[in-house]
Structure 1
Amino acid sequence: MTKFNKIVPDDFNVPMYVNGEFFILRPLSPVYSNLDYDAVIASKEILGDIFSDNWPEGINSREDNLRYILEDYQDFQDRIGFSYIILDDEESICIGCVYIFPSLYEGSDVAIYYWFNVKFAGTYLTVKIENFIRSWVVEFWGIKKPAYPGRDIPWSEWLTRPRKKFTD
């Protein structure tokens, strides 16, 4: 198994709550499993086009979804990856998720992935959230070279980049 380095130093104050304009970010934890599952299932067709690994193909039940969330939540606790759920102001609807993971490939510090619930895709709100994510990653997190695979970089190019060397 590949051992990733922490994305941020131990003294970095990782946000547990971000209040944006018309949305809230919270760490994706088991608390939000049902909201996330409902959005994933509703958006399954468009998600297959966003991610290269056919995700969320393996999610066929709430239990499957919870397993994914628990893995991501452990990465959050270990500070090697940060998954956030994007919620409406009442924290009752999953608008989408954003993931900040170590980049496996040369040329970038981290890989940023995000998706939106099909009910919100292509709306003014998602444009605002996307713009927020892109500035937040650089300004708050201090990430100098973020990559946005499947968005700014086609998967065919991303997956053929030279891989970084990690410790095992």
Structure 2
Amino acid sequence: MKRIDYFLLILLLVSSSAYSQSFVPKDFVVPSVLENEYFRIRMLTVNDVVKDYDAVMSSVDHLQKVWPDSGWPSADLTFEQDLIDLGWHQKEFQLRRSFAYTVVALDESEVVGCLYIDSTTKTDYDAEVYMWVRTSTLDKGYDQILFNTVKQWMAKEWPFKKVAYPGREISWKDWKATK
């Protein structure tokens, strides 16, 4: 089976009713964009694959430290695998099951990073939020700027009362131990 066939199979599975449980209220209008003086945050789609792949592959060492136990991204991640990941994220967003945003330069010339808003199984939280920036933006302070921007956005625009930021406000060790 060709990889593109796997991609279509994944999209079919994720769009089935068993997998289409939204974790935001039905009447909640999901924010489509947030912009500041540094970057724009908007829905991640398959159309972003070229710039996303460049951002990921130019930042492999840094990203493996952001998610130390995940193995993502592997140094041999292919363009096609990234496309499949983006297709998955796009479909999940459409189904309101999770929300992946790309963080792009204001002129859309490059992907600066990504933001992921996910449901959680942890009883003390109602959402998990992860984010990363490409290595070339670290010395500009973009990691902290993105984190501060996202925290304010989550508090102001999203319906969650208790948001977890694993690897940031909660160590990975403590997060894994949280029930």
User: Percent same amino acid at aligned positions?
Assistant: 30
- Superposed CA RMSD: 1.9
Gaps of 5+ in 1: 163-168
2:166 is matched with 149
Gaps of 5+ in 2: 1-12
Which segment is superposed worse, 151-160 or 5-14? 5-14
- Aligned-partner Cα distance in 1 for 2:71–2:135: 17
Tell me the TM-score normalized by structure 2.
0.83
Seen in structure 2, the aligned counterparts of structure 1 residues 122 and 137 have a Cα distance that, compared at 3 Å, is farther
Aligned counterpart in structure 2 of residue 70 of structure 1, from 81, 84, 87: 87
1:54-81 per-residue CA deviation (whole Å, 9 max, x = no partner) reads 2112762110101111111111011010
- Aligned-partner Cα distance in 2 for 1:44–1:4: 31
1:166 is matched with none
**Alpha carbons 2:20, 2:95 under 8 Å: kept:** no
**Alpha carbons 2:21, 2:95 under 8 Å: kept:** no
Task: State the structure with bigger RCO (CA 8 A, min sep 6), 1 or 2.
Answer: 1
Give the structure with the larger helix fraction.
Answer: 2
Q: Residue 57 of structure 2: SS of its match in structure 1?
A: helix
Segments ≥4 residues shifted beyond 6 Å:
none
1:72-102 per-residue CA deviation (whole Å, 9 max, x = no partner) reads 1111011010000000110111110000000
1:34 is matched with 50
AA aligned opposite 1:32: D
5 Å-filtered alignment, 1:93-112, equals: 93-112=110-129
1:127 is matched with 144
What's the CA shift for 1:107? 1.2
Radius of gyration: which is bigger? Answer: 2
Which segment is superposed worse, 27-36 or 115-124? 115-124
**Alpha carbons 2:31, 2:157 under 8 Å: kept:** no
2:132 aligned with 1:118 = no
Tell me the TM-score normalized by structure 1.
0.88
- Aligned-partner Cα distance in 2 for 1:18–1:73: 17
